[in-house]
Structures are given as structure tokens and as C-alpha cells.
Amino acid sequence: MHSGIVQVPVFVYPTPITFYLEDQTSHKQVLTLYNPYEFAIRFRVLCTAPNKYTVVDPEGSIRPRCCIDIVVRHNAVSAANCNVTDKFRIQMQNHASKQVIGKQDVAATLLPGKPCGTLPDPEEFLRLPTTSSVQQQFGLVRDQRQVTGRIHTTNYIVVVAALVCIGALLLPTHGDQDSRFPVYLHLTTHLKLIFAYVLGMVTMVLLRPV
């Protein structure tokens, strides 16, 4: 490695790759190369057994924050090549100088038979969580806290309204000879009836079950 060359991580998916002798659909695999950086990079694909594989476009460039798919085909699918692991080396190069700035090895193996079980469908839609899921439980906790907060606020307002009504009913009625209170605090009978009605309503709110 030349001094002064900055090495960067290389992002490849999947790793490793697996071919199956009796599954023809697995004889062609796709490697995705990612460039998460703010600058363009060049790539080159090397292999320890190039006569056994075909790689479409083994060299090229990737624009900043982009990715590219590389098709890899196994050309020597036979029982004699089963359980043999080859390696692909993905080299990332400086786009201008072509100096190697990173590398990643990807193992490739041909296995006998077929894949065990059902391979996942890449476009399979998964079910949303049910009402018993953890996500829904957290939602209930959050909603309950909001309801509790509203109940506490409502009770505070109702209590204050009840105290105001009681205070108003304790004031003298207009026309009473009560020198303890100024004249403007002597309430009319009609106004006291209104306060009494409001007091009855807020009392019902306070006494009703939650």
C-alpha cells in the first residue's frame, strides 16, 4: 500500500454467496456494491477461479451515494465442484488515480442438493402487528397517560368552579343590611339562582364515577 492513500470500508451484499447443484435458479447470483461516500469510486472484481464464473461488467464506476448490481454466474456446476469455496475480491479504487482504497472478499460455494426449506420471497409483504403486539401495548400506555392528564385537568377546573359558586352563594343578597361586604358584592336573587344551578351541575360531575 502506498503511503498517503486513505483506505475506506467496502460495502457488498450478500456475503457469502451460495450456489446449489440442483437448484438452477441459484446458479446466477447478484452482488450489490454500495458507494455511501460523497465522491465517485471505481471498482474491479477479481476471482480465485475465474474459469468457473462469468461476471457481467467486472469493472466500472459508482456515482456518489449510489449502488450497482453485479451479476455472477457459475459456469462449472458439477458434483466435482461441490463443497469447494472460491473467493471474489471487490476492489475499490480512487476514481482519478485508480489507486486501491479498499477491498472486500466474498466467499462463493457450490453445495449439493437444493436449499433447505423455502427461500424467503424478497417481495413478501409481512403482516402488521396484532392488537397484542408490543407496539400496541406501548400505544395503550401512551393513550392512558393522555386520558389521565385530561381527567386531572378537568377535575381541577370543576373544583375551582364549585368553590366560586359556593363563595357567591355565601355573599349577601341584594337589599340585605350587611355592612361586612361592600354594596357591589350584594348579589341579586336571580344571580344567586344561576350560581346555585352551576354548583349543582359541577357537583354531579365530581360525584359521577370515572
Q: How far is Cα 47 from Cα 191, in angstroms, rounded to an integer?
A: 96
Q: How far is Cα 42 from Cα 32, in angstroms, rounded to an integer?
A: 14
Q: How far is Cα 189 from Cα 48, in angstroms, rounded to an integer?
A: 103
The cell for 1 is 500500500
**In contact, 77 and 71? CB cutoff 8 Å:** no
Is the pLDDT confidence value at 196 over 90? no
Q: Look up the pTM and report it.
A: 0.52
CATH code for the domain defined by 11-111: 2.60.40.10
Q: How far is Cα 43 from Cα 66, in angstroms, rounded to an integer?
A: 13
The cell for 46 is 477479481
- A 10 A CB-CB count for 133 gives 11
Tens-digit pLDDT profile for residues 175-188: 776 667 777 777 78
Tens-digit pLDDT profile for residues 52-103: 999 988 999 999 999 999 999 999 999 999 999 999 999 999 988 889 999 9
